[in-house]
């Protein structure tokens, strides 16, 4: 079969964390013997497509738009510089032109409802699967009611199917629709977490942990990984780790970094900020931890939580998206209230259970 994947987030290299789960899906399809074409941001829409060395039947077609689409996400980039929104229309036009040039396909997959499914692939002549993640569903729910109903109805009238990375996202969108339209959406939807492609980072994890100046040989290490923006509540993670007398490594970058570093200094926290690092390095830091702390307030199906559990690292998190449902099935994933005392107690319990 010949597949088209259109996405607004895709790695530009092996180390890029952007859209790594989209690449994992594309590679999985290619390794099953399918011909896969990915249309993604980056480069110029006039650049020749490239083949993925890890899966030669996977072709990546750049469509520009890199000023808007990329880490840490289009919404965050637009908030920092609203002029970047002007790149949305040229990207949509180029992406549709790229898709059309690929020719007939057996299936089209649109990662992110807006703009991949609408407007780019709405009229594309192939069976369409729309993948809803987190931010795109929240954006849709925040739109004026008339716009939200128009977009969902247009996709359903086109006979698109929906795949949601989190049950919470499907539930949120359904609640934002009239009952008859919500019922139509639910009949055409399924929930399926995104694919994870995890390299072996064991040796690097040991080296990273050994590189730290931990206060004592018995000191426990907390890792918080993500964008340094208000919704991630990294300040709460720093406070909770300090209250639990544990060291913390903060992996990631963002507009709050200077403020968070000042907080750590003010609390005399034993903290390291390693910034935005290649994905393998971020995974190695997670693997080096005694516990991952994910205090985020807004999530759907957070990959960092799934990655930590796949690496055998216990997780303390706040209830958001599907995290609470996962915790009911996984005793090493603990949900705690979003306050310092509750998270601190949960950290101590998670570390004690691992000892």
User: Buried b vs exposed e over 257-278: b needs ≥16 C-beta within 10 Å?
Assistant: beebbebbeeeebbbbbbebbe
Examine the domain organization and report whether 21 and 160 are in the same domain.
Answer: yes
Cβ neighbourhood burial of 230 (10 Å; 0-12, 13-18, 19+): middle
Q: Domain holding 183: CATH number?
A: 3.40.50.2000
Contacts 24+ apart (CB under 8 A), 168-171: 168/300, 168/301, 168/320, 168/321, 168/322, 169/132, 169/133, 169/134, 169/137, 169/300, 169/301, 169/321, 170/132
Q: What's the predicted TM-score (pTM) here?
A: 0.91
pLDDT, position 65: 83
Domain that holds residue 257: 202-354
Confidence bin at 89 (pLDDT 50/70/90): confident
Peptide bond into 295 cis (omega under 30): no
- Averaged over 105-124, what is the pLDDT? 96
Within a domain: 223:
yes
| Stretch 157-169: mean pLDDT | 97
pLDDT, tens digit, 9 for 90 and up, residues 292-346? 999 999 999 999 999 999 999 999 999 999 999 999 999 999 999 999 999 999 9
**pLDDT at site 48:** 95
Same domain, 230 and 154: no
**Could you report the per-residue pLDDT of 258-299, keeping only the tens digit for each?**
999 999 999 999 999 999 999 999 999 999 999 999 999 999
**173 contact partners, CB below 8 Å, separation of at least 6:** 132, 137, 140, 141, 152, 185
Tell me the average pLDDT of the chain: 93
Do residues 140 and 117 lie in contact, with contact meaning Cβ atoms separated by under 8 Å?
no
**Pair 272, 241: CB distance under 8 Å:** no
Whether residues 48 and 152 fall in one domain: yes
The answer to whether residues 183 and 219 belong to one domain is no
Domain match, 215 and 342 both: yes
Q: Are residues 222 and 105 in the same domain?
A: no
Shared domain check, 135 and 12 = yes
Please tell me the distance from the alpha carbon of residue 229 to that of residue 216, in angstroms, as a whole number.
Answer: 31
Kindly state whether residue 185 falls inside one of the protein's structural domains.
yes
Of 165, 191, 217, the position where a domain reaches its end is 191
Assess whether 81 and 217 both reside in one domain.
no
> Residue for token digits 């109903």?
149
Per-residue confidence band for 213, with pLDDT thresholds at 50, 70 and 90: confident
């Amino acid at each position: 079969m010949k597949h088209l994947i259109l996405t607004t987030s895709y790695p530009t290299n092996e180390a890029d964390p952007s859209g790594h789960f989209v690449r994992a899906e594309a590679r999985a399809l290619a390794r099953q013997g399918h011909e896969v074409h990915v249309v993604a941001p980056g480069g110029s829409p006039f650049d020749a497509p490239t083949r993925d060395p890890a899966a030669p039947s996977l072709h990546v077609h750049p469509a520009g738009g890199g000023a808007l689409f990329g880490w840490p996400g289009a919404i965050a980039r637009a908030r920092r510089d609203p002029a970047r929104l002007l790149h949305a229309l040229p990207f949509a036009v180029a992406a549709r032109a790229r898709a059309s040039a690929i020719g007939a396909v057996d299936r089209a997959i649109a990662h992110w409802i807006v703009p991949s499914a609408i407007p780019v692939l709405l009229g594309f002549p192939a069976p369409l699967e729309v993948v809803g993640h987190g931010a795109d569903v929240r954006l849709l729910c925040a739109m004026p009611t008339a716009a939200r109903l128009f977009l969902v109805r247009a996709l359903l009238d086109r006979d698109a199917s929906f795949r949601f990375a989190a049950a919470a996202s499907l539930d949120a969108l359904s609640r934002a629709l009239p009952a008859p339209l919500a019922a139509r959406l639910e009949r055409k939807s399924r929930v399926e977490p995104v694919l994870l492609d995890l390299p072996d980072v064991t040796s690097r994890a040991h080296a990273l942990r050994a590189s730290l100046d931990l206060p004592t040989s018995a000191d426990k290490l907390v890792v918080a990984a993500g964008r340094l923006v208000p919704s991630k509540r990294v300040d709460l993670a720093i406070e909770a780790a300090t209250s639990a007398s544990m060291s913390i490594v903060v992996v990631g970058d963002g507009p709050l970094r200077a403020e968070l570093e000042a907080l750590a200094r003010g609390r005399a926290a034993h903290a390291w900020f390693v910034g935005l690092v290649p994905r393998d390095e971020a995974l190695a830091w997670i693997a080096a931890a005694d516990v991952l702390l994910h205090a985020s307030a807004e999530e759907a199906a957070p990959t960092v939580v799934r990655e930590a559990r796949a690496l055998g690292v216990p997780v303390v998190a706040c209830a958001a998206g599907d995290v609470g449902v996962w915790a009911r099935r996984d005793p090493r994933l603990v949900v705690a209230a979003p306050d310092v005392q509750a998270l601190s107690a949960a950290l101590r319990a998670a570390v004690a259970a691992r000892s």
